[in-house]
A and B are shown apart, each in its own frame.
Chain A
Amino acid sequence: MNVSTDKKDFWEDYNKRKTWDEIIPGELRPTKEVVLTKEMIQNFARIVGETNPLYFDEEYAKKSPYKGIIAPPNIHVLLMFACTDINDWMREPGTINAGQSWFYNIPARPGDKIKLVCKCLDKWIKKERLFAIHENVFYNQDNEVICSGRGWTIRPR
């Protein structure tokens, strides 16, 4: 995956995306494996204002308890889009993020081959709004859990 060339137009394949009616709780969303690079980690960290040398300074990170550069825990923000395709329903224009919860097990590192297993857990209607919960678990190449999380979204259609 190349961050700079990834598809930016969320209207592309709009009609191929699942609407709220078509989302089936429990059904896995298609995903793809992504190799996490130092560039992806550092670009993401910089934009959110991170300055911790654990994310940027190889020599500092080697001497730390982490023994090398790691990604900030919230790297899953990038990985969720990196590991899914343009027709994934989380790209639906107008999807509103109402809340998220994440548990962090081990840090992601440059060179990790990231796998995502994700699905809708539940969907409901409240005050005329269409809600869906998405559940996501990220694994590395050794099938170790990096982090797992849930998000509550309001669906536009």
Chain B
Amino acid sequence: MGINCAYEDLEIDKQIIGEEIFIKKELPKDFAEASLDYNPLHLDPSWMDKTNFGKTKFKGVIVHGMFTFSIITKMITDWLLPIGGIHRRLETRWLKPIYPGDTITPQAVIFAKKKTIKGNWVLLKVRVTRQDGEVVAEGESMEEFPNNQ
């Protein structure tokens, strides 16, 4: 089996920066329609105002965590698919809520590479930052570069 040139060319600390996204007011409703997740957390401001979430505090409806997951996915696949990689895994933790009116940017950096018997793997640290620099989500992804046949 031949080597995968795209994999060999990738260097540790390579950064991938996704598109900056302004969260429009209608985004939670649009994402609810597309994902079928109609949780009032994302849609009902009056319910959010009167509901006690204990130690977790919200100042209005919040953006779906899986929207953030989705923009990380887009950043990765926009970079990965054109160079022949396969997106294999994404793990994220949500650290802060995101609200309509926020601007968020996904980023990733390669922190490890690993060859296995049948493949070539790249590990990335991922994170999403808000306009004030606060990290609102973080995690890791794993990408495969198959050996050339």
Which residues in A have some Cβ–Cβ distance to B below 8 Å? Answer: 3-4, 6, 8-11, 43-44, 46-50, 52, 54, 65, 72-74, 77-78, 81-82, 91, 93-104, 127-129, 154, 156
Is the CB of B39 closer than 8 A to any CB of chain A? yes
B7 → chain A, closest Cβ, in Å?
A: 16
Pairwise interchain contact A44-B34, C-beta atoms closer than 8 A:
yes
Residue B19 CB within 8 A of the other chain: yes
Residues of B within 8 A of A (CB): 19, 21, 30-41, 47, 51, 53-56, 64-67, 69-71, 73-74, 77-78, 81, 84, 86-94, 139
**B31–A47 CB distance below 8 A:** yes
Cβ of A150 to closest chain B Cβ, rounded Å:
9
Q: What chain A residues lie within 8 Å of B90 (beta carbons)?
A: 73-74, 101-102
A100 with B92: CB separation less than 8 A: yes
Seed contacts A74-B69, A77-B35; 11 additional CB < 8 Å A-B pairs = A3-B36, A44-B34, A52-B78, A72-B70, A72-B74, A73-B87, A74-B70, A78-B34, A104-B87, A104-B89, A128-B55
Q: Are A49 and B71 also in contact (CB < 8 A) when A93-B40, A102-B90, A104-B87 are? A: yes
- CB pair B39–A94 under 8 Å, yes or no, is yes
Q: What's the count of A-B pairs with C-beta under 8 Å?
A: 118
Which of B34, B56, B73 sits near A73, CB closer than 8 Å?
B73
Query: Quick check: B78 and A3 within 8 Å, CB to CB?
Result: no
**The 7 residue pairs across chains A and B that have the minimum distance between CB atoms:** A81-B36, A101-B91, A47-B34, A48-B70, A97-B65, A99-B93, A77-B66
Judge whether A98 and B94 touch: CB under 8 Å: yes
Contact A102 B74, beta carbon cutoff 8 Å: no
Shortest CB-to-CB span from B127 to chain A, Å, is 13
From A4, A49, A127, name the one whose CB has the most chain B CB atoms within 10 angstroms: A49
> With the chains together, A99 CA to B67 CA distance in Å?
12
Contact check, A96 vs B53: say whether CB atoms are below 8 A apart. yes
Task: Note all chain B residues with C-beta closer than 8 A to A81.
Answer: 35-37
Give the nearest-CB partner of B38 in chain A.
A8
Give every chain A residue within 8 A of B87 (Cβ-Cβ): 73, 104
